[in-house]
Structure 1
Amino acid sequence: MAATLRDVALLAGVSPKTASNVINDRPHVKPSTRAKVEAAIAELHYRPNLTARQLKYGRSGFLNLAIPQIDWPYFAELAARLTEAATEAGYLLLLDVTSATHEAEAALMAGVQPSKVDGLIFSPLALSAEEIATRTDTTPMVLLGERAVPSDHDHVSVDSVVAAKAMTEHLIGLGRRRIAAIGRLSNSGTASVRMEGYHQALAAAGLGRRSEYEEGVGDYLRSEGKLAMARLLALPEPPDAVFAFNDLMAIGALQACREAGVRVPEDIAVAGFDDIAESAYTAPTLTTVAPDLDVLTSEVLRLLLTRIDGSRTEAEDVQVPWQIVVRESTGG
């Protein structure tokens, strides 16, 4: 039979109330007591009774994660981490793939969910900040991504302007002066903020912008990165460095260089953004901006669960730490 809360409490040598406080991540529990209860949970493979929770608290025990794509490695890894963190908090995570369509995202804003959920984690791409501001559904929500959002909404993001500026400065620091960017995309918050950081770094270094070095794409895919790099390599004066606005496009760019017989990083340095697992296994391995997904995951769950339990009412805008991981594609 499945372990109960009383089983956990008995094994840990604490009261059921104390065990419940640990399971629900309530404050004022001694670290030593919390450790004993967590050890008992692990040994007994305890999972909270979601039906009982719903009856007692009027909650479903479900959270919904709405992302634009599941076949993008960044979102797949994020979904895996959030699923694990939600389970540890006693929730089941449902997945909703919007394909970045306005219709699907607007439905979520209106409260149309795959099931009754206690909270929503949402990465919108098609909706504007003005449209998000008109939301009337009261389901607790945390927004992800680099788009501008209303100030009264919880939001977790990476400061992509600063991160993109730092990556461009890394390329400049290598002595590269003809630095291209792959990732210009209309109506994309990600593209606009990363392009802004790229422009800031060029200006600070006294390097003029060259429109032929700013490659537009149809989507942030390997194939688009490959096509964009091929166009850059065909220029009368090709760039000596390329910053792709995500790792998938950077990986496509590496393939275009291989097929053209262009050496990386000797002839051209290549960098990406996201630090997906694949970036450590490309040939050459890929230099990239690595957001701290551990912090992102914990902050998203903290914001959402404190909204659900009513212990916090003021909106928070959290920026996640990041670092540049230098690998072989820029000489690391």
Structure 2
Amino acid sequence: MAATLRDVALLAGVSAKTASNVINDRPHVKPSTREKVEAAIAALAYRPNLTARQLKYGRSGFLTLAIPQIDWPYFAELAARLTEAATEAGYVLLLEVTRADQVAERALMNGVPGKPDGLIFSPLSLSAAEIADRSDATPMVLLGERAVPTMHDHVSVDSVAAGRAITEHLMAIGRTRIAAIGRLSTSGTASVRMAGYHEALDAAGRPRRPEYEQGVGDYLREEGKTAMQRLLALPEPPDAVFAFNDLMAIGALQACREAGVRVPEDVAVAGFDNIAETAYTAPTLTTVEPDLGVLTREVLRLMLGRIEGTRTEAETVHVPWRIVVRQSTGG
């Protein structure tokens, strides 16, 4: 049978109230006492009774993370980090995969299955107006580089600044014909990364060349490869490419290999996200690295503040990022 709170208290030699204080991370518990209770929890493989918690505090002990894909490495790593952080905070993280379907995203935003205590949501298909019309009162923290209503907490990377910086890096290594691969969209992540790309070109007095802005249907390796093949087939192909995520950049590298185009000698390639695979491509890939550690901490801070009632004002948080220069741009 599953261990109970009383079992933990007996093994640790403390009262049930003291054991509960440790489990709920309340202050004013002696370090030595906390250590004994935590050892008992580990020995008994104790898990809190979430049903009892819900009855007593009106909380489920669950958080839901809604992301567009789980097989994209960026979202897989994000889910892993948030799961670990939620566990440390005493919550179980449930996963919903929307596949960026507008109907699925709208339904989720207006009524999360299982009634969790909070929703961490990365929508790709919803407009700011649709998010503003949300009818569900479950605390929500939004992820992603997009415009969101001011009444909601939002954690993101400043992709305009990052997109501009990576384009400026390509200019700084002497490239003059710089292309972009990504969705050609007026909203969401693609629009802000494209805005940064345009800002860098405009500031340097470089023309915007429509044939160098290659649209894709999805942010996948095969889409990046196909877009790169179109670029290489131009009468004047680019000498640098900024792909809006690492998967597409990896596809672009493959297109170059198959065409006998040298990277970075003939064309430099850069991506975005710094997924683990980028350190092992041939050549290794230059990319923008968001600080997922800060992102995770900020998401949990905002969410727990909402759940516990210690925060009422919405916050927008931009997490740090850096450019990781590798062989694909001469690093």
Q: TM-score, structure 1 length as denominator?
A: 0.91
- Paired amino acid for 1:175: G
User: Is residue 125 from structure 1 mapped to residue 132 from structure 2 by the alignment?
Assistant: no
Task: Tell me the equivalent position of 1:139.
Answer: 138
- Paired amino acid for 1:54: Q
Partner Cα separation in structure 2 for residue 37 and residue 324 of structure 1: 45
Partner Cα separation in structure 1 for residue 169 and residue 133 of structure 2: 41
- Paired amino acid for 2:228: M
Residue deviations 1:176-195 (CA, integer Å, cap 9, x gap): 11111111333541111000
Question: Superposed, which structure 2 residues align to 1:1-150 within 5 Å?
Answer: 20=20, 23-25=23-25, 36=35, 40=39, 45-111=45-111, 113-150=112-149
Distance 1:43 1:329, change over 3 A: farther
- Paired amino acid for 2:200: A
Q: Is the Cα contact below 8 Å between 1:9 and 1:37 reproduced in 2?
A: no
Task: Tell me the equivalent position of 2:253.
Answer: 254
Residue 19 of structure 1 and its aligned partner are, at CA, apart by 5.8
Partner Cα separation in structure 2 for residue 316 and residue 114 of structure 1: 26
Residue 88 of structure 1 and its aligned partner are, at CA, apart by 1.7
Task: Tell me the equivalent position of 1:308.
Answer: 307
Larger deviation, residues 54-63 vs 162-171: 54-63
Partner of 2:287: helix, strand, or coil? strand
User: Is residue 317 from structure 1 mapped to residue 319 from structure 2 by the alignment?
Assistant: no
Partner Cα separation in structure 2 for residue 115 and residue 258 of structure 1: 48
Larger deviation, residues 303-312 vs 152-161: 303-312
Q: Is the Cα contact below 8 Å between 2:22 and 2:29 reproduced in 1?
A: no
Residue 196 of structure 1 and its aligned partner are, at CA, apart by 0.5
Partner Cα separation in structure 1 for residue 169 and residue 10 of structure 2: 56
Residue 9 of structure 1 and its aligned partner are, at CA, apart by 6.9
Distance 1:58 1:264, change over 3 A: same
Larger deviation, residues 238-247 vs 7-16: 7-16
Residue 102 of structure 1 and its aligned partner are, at CA, apart by 1.4
Partner of 1:120: helix, strand, or coil? strand
Q: Is the Cα contact below 8 Å between 2:21 and 2:29 reproduced in 1?
A: no
Partner Cα separation in structure 2 for residue 148 and residue 31 of structure 1: 46
Residue deviations 1:229-266 (CA, integer Å, cap 9, x gap): 01111111111110000001000000000000011111
Partner of 1:237: helix, strand, or coil? coil
Cα RMSD (Å) = 2.4
Runs of 4+ in 1 over 2 A off after TM superposition: 1-26, 28-49, 184-188
Residue deviations 1:251-306 (CA, integer Å, cap 9, x gap): 00000000000111111110000111111111111111111111111111111111
> Identity percentage over the alignment?
80
- Paired amino acid for 1:71: D
Q: Is the Cα contact below 8 Å between 1:64 and 1:93 reproduced in 2?
A: yes
Residue deviations 1:41-67 (CA, integer Å, cap 9, x gap): 566654333222112111111111111
Larger deviation, residues 257-266 vs 49-58: 49-58
Task: Tell me the equivalent position of 2:157.
Answer: 158
Partner Cα separation in structure 2 for residue 233 and residue 273 of structure 1: 21
Q: Is the Cα contact below 8 Å between 2:9 and 2:37 reproduced in 1?
A: no
Partner of 2:274: helix, strand, or coil? coil
Partner of 2:131: helix, strand, or coil? helix
Partner Cα separation in structure 1 for residue 32 and residue 240 of structure 2: 54
Task: Tell me the equivalent position of 2:296.
Answer: 297
Distance 1:99 1:38, change over 3 A: farther
Residue 106 of structure 1 and its aligned partner are, at CA, apart by 1.1
Partner of 1:184: helix, strand, or coil? coil
Distance 1:311 1:219, change over 3 A: same
Q: Is the Cα contact below 8 Å between 2:67 and 2:96 reproduced in 1?
A: yes
Distance 1:318 1:4, change over 3 A: farther
Partner Cα separation in structure 1 for residue 308 and residue 18 of structure 2: 18
Distance 1:42 1:210, change over 3 A: farther
Residue 207 of structure 1 and its aligned partner are, at CA, apart by 1.6
Q: Structure 2: any 5+ residue segments left out of the alignment?
A: none
Q: Is the Cα contact below 8 Å between 2:162 and 2:288 reproduced in 1?
A: yes
Distance 1:229 1:47, change over 3 A: same
Residue 10 of structure 1 and its aligned partner are, at CA, apart by 7.9
Residue deviations 1:5-59 (CA, integer Å, cap 9, x gap): 5676788898766665554455x66896798479645666543332221121111
Residue deviations 1:205-250 (CA, integer Å, cap 9, x gap): 2222111111111111111100110111111111111000000100
Partner Cα separation in structure 2 for residue 53 and residue 314 of structure 1: 27
Partner Cα separation in structure 2 for residue 144 and residue 87 of structure 1: 20
Partner Cα separation in structure 2 for residue 180 and residue 259 of structure 1: 19
Distance 1:280 1:43, change over 3 A: farther
